[in-house]
Amino acid sequence: MNLQSGIINVSYSFFEKEWTFLDWQSRINQIPEKLQARIYRYHRWQDRQAGLLGNLLVKNALLRWGGNRNALHDLKYGKYGRPYINTDFDFNVSHSGQYIVCASADFCRVGIDIEKIRPLDLSDFQNEFSLKEHAVIEKANDPLMSFYAHWTAKEAVIKADGRGMQIPLKDVWIDSNRAYLYDKIYQLKRIKLNNLYCCCVAFDQKIHGINIYDAGIEPVVPGLKYIIA
């Protein structure tokens, strides 16, 4: 078990514009061809760039946990399409807008979700929340932010579970910093990377803290930014 057991690592990156051809080639060549092919299926450059950054963040996470630079060659996909390397290491990736995030751990199941905050009609999502959750959102000082806090928490939980959208979001109950999915309890940590985004990590074991790193756009091992205890 890694010396960092009990710690969840969260790395993130973002982009402001489309990379040049040379910048793109220097980065796409750092991941296996089978993953390159998946990325090239996207039509929008934003999606291709986010997809590539997601793979680089996973590679970065593997290096942090003592893996080797060729570990992505061993990437597999579970029954519901969730990627994994082996049973000793869990990771999850999410992206929205210009931000990409990756959560990883070697002792628990972990899920992460990030959403760019955009105006919306909250009534369109009534079926996704319980009456108690609706009440909390409506009474909040900032109902829109409360909505996104609940939404990212639910998404993080179903991603940690592994079945993703096979699970109706209404089946995940949020109660402060905990979430309940059927007979299982998940802990939640909200992460603030940018005022325009909402991000949440879900995990199923007790933790000592969360290390958050700005991984930039290169698959290097950067320094620690800060810790959420």
For residue range 75-100, what is the model confidence (pLDDT) as tens digits? 999 999 999 988 788 999 999 999 99
The pLDDT tens digits for 149-159 are 999 999 999 99
Residue 4 has a pLDDT of 58
Other beta carbons within 10 Å of 69: 11
**Secondary structure of 190-207 as H, E, C letters:** EECCCCCEEEEEEECCCC
Query: In the chain, what percentage of residues exceed pLDDT 90?
Result: 78
Q: Are 196 and 118 in contact (CB under 8 A)?
A: no
User: pTM for this one?
Assistant: 0.91
Short-list 194, 188, 195, CA closest to 228 = 188
CB environment 83-119: b (16+ within 10 A), e (fewer): bebeeebbbbbbbbbbbbbbbbbbbbbbbbbbbebee
Tokens of 20: 């040049």
Residue 70 has a pLDDT of 87
User: Alpha-carbon distance 127 to 190, whole Å?
Assistant: 23
Residue 86 has a pLDDT of 83
Residue 229 has a pLDDT of 34
Residue 2 pLDDT exceeds 50 = no
Identify which of 2-16, 36-50, 64-78 has the greatest average pLDDT. 36-50
Read off the pLDDT band of 221 (50, 70, 90): very low
Secondary structure element (H or E) that encloses residue 17, with its range: none
Residue 88 has a pLDDT of 81
Residue 228 pLDDT exceeds 80 = no
Query: What are the distances in angstroms from CA 203 to CA 3, 75, 177, 183?
Result: 19, 21, 11, 15
Average pLDDT, the chain: 90
Residue 217 has a pLDDT of 53
What mean pLDDT comes out for the span 189-194? 94
Pairing of strands 209-214, 184-191: unpaired
Q: Which residue stretches of 20-117 are H helix?
A: 21-28, 33-39, 45-64
The pLDDT tens digits for 11-35 are 999 999 999 999 999 999 999 999 9
Tokens of 182: 């059927």
Residue 223 pLDDT exceeds 80 = no
Q: Alpha-carbon torsion 24, 29, 33, 35, what sign?
A: negative
Query: In the chain, what percentage of residues exceed pLDDT 70?
Result: 92
Short-list 220, 123, 128, 140, CA closest to 176 = 140
Residue 104 has a pLDDT of 96
Residue 1 has a pLDDT of 41
CB environment 211-220: b (16+ within 10 A), e (fewer): bbbebebebe
